[in-house]
């Protein structure tokens, strides 16, 4: 099992109950229930680039993101990789392996310095049995991610490169004050499922047309309407 973390959180007085209460899975629980869950939660620190878990590792815990960002990817035997999801503060991940007790289905890497709360399966499963509200909310979260996976498959099957890339850029910059995202073309390639060379050619076309602006590991969407048009073709 791959797990690289500092043994102690940077913030010794971490209010785990308050943090868990901000996550959609737990926010409807009363204080006593939150305190009970928090008693089992363990804080873990990960440096940027550190492996949180690897595909095939035992799925013994669920993670809640306190701060930072986590990227979950999968790879083929030929060495090709694809992005499955990105999680930030307020998100949970690792729930599938926790529920079925089987191995991890992807690789989780700290995209930035991260602080996570880990809830182990041996503590979480009895809680699900006693608290149906959590079980129902967890089903909603898993269902939402399944819908997102279905959308990704549809994009791969039915959308051309321009459409897939446009949709990815809109998704990555959605909600950002300046419509920007910090990522390399290699990272974009992983998310879209096309070669870096093909991604670069299309990005350069859009940059010349004033649709986007490119910087060092930074991309800014200037004309979201043009990208939206590309997703509907």
* Chain centroid, CA 197 distance in Å: 25
Q: Which domains does the chain have, with CATH numbers?
A: 16-156 (2.60.120.10), 160-231 (1.10.10.10)
Over residues 79-93, the mean pLDDT reads: 81
Q: Check residue 7 and give its pLDDT.
A: 43
Q: Tens digit of pLDDT for each residue in 181-217?
A: 887 887 787 777 777 888 888 999 999 999 989 988 8
**Which pTM value belongs to this model?**
0.65
Over residues 126-135, the mean pLDDT reads: 81
Nearest to 188 by CA among 174, 175, 172, 176: 172
Q: Is 100 helix (H, G, I), strand (E, B) or coil?
A: helix
Q: pLDDT confidence of 63, banded at 50, 70, 90?
A: very high
Q: Check residue 8 and give its pLDDT.
A: 42
Q: Which is higher by pLDDT, 51 or 28?
A: 51
Q: What is the 3-state secondary structure (H, E, C) of 28-61?
A: CCCHHHHHHHHHHCEEEEECCCCEEECCCCECCE
Is there a contact between 109 and 93 (Cβ–Cβ < 8 Å)?
A: no
Q: Tens digit of pLDDT for each residue in 13-48?
A: 678 888 888 877 787 777 887 888 888 899 999 999
Other C-beta atoms within 10 Å of 148: how many?
A: 12
Q: pLDDT confidence of 233, banded at 50, 70, 90?
A: low
Other C-beta atoms within 10 Å of 197: how many?
A: 9
Q: pLDDT confidence of 9, banded at 50, 70, 90?
A: very low
């Amino acid at each position: 099992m791959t797990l690289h973390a500092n043994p102690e959180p940077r913030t010794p007085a971490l209010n785990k109950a308050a943090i868990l209460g901000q996550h959609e899975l737990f926010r409807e629980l009363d204080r006593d229930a939150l305190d009970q869950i928090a008693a089992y939660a363990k804080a873990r620190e990960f440096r940027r680039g550190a492996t949180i878990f690897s595909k095939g590792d035992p799925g013994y815990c669920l993670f809640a993101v306190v701060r930072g960002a986590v990227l979950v990817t999968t790879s083929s035997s030929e060495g090709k990789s694809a992005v499955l999801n990105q999680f930030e503060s307020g998100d949970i991940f690792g729930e599938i392996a926790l529920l079925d007790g089987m191995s991890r289905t992807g690789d989780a890497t700290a995209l930035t310095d991260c602080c996570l709360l880990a809830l182990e399966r041996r503590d979480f499963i009895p809680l699900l049995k006693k608290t149906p509200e959590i079980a129902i909310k967890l089903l909603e979260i898993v269902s939402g991610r399944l819908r997102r996976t279905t959308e990704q498959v549809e994009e791969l099957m039915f959308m051309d490169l321009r459409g897939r890339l446009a949709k990815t850029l809109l998704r990555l910059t959605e909600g950002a004050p300046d419509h920007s995202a910090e990522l390399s073309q290699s990272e974009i390639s992983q998310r879209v499922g096309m070669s870096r060379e093909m991604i670069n050619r299309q990005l350069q076309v859009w940059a010349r047309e004033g649709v986007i602006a490119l910087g060092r590991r930074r991309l800014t969407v200037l004309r979201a309407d043009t990208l939206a048009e590309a997703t509907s073709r």
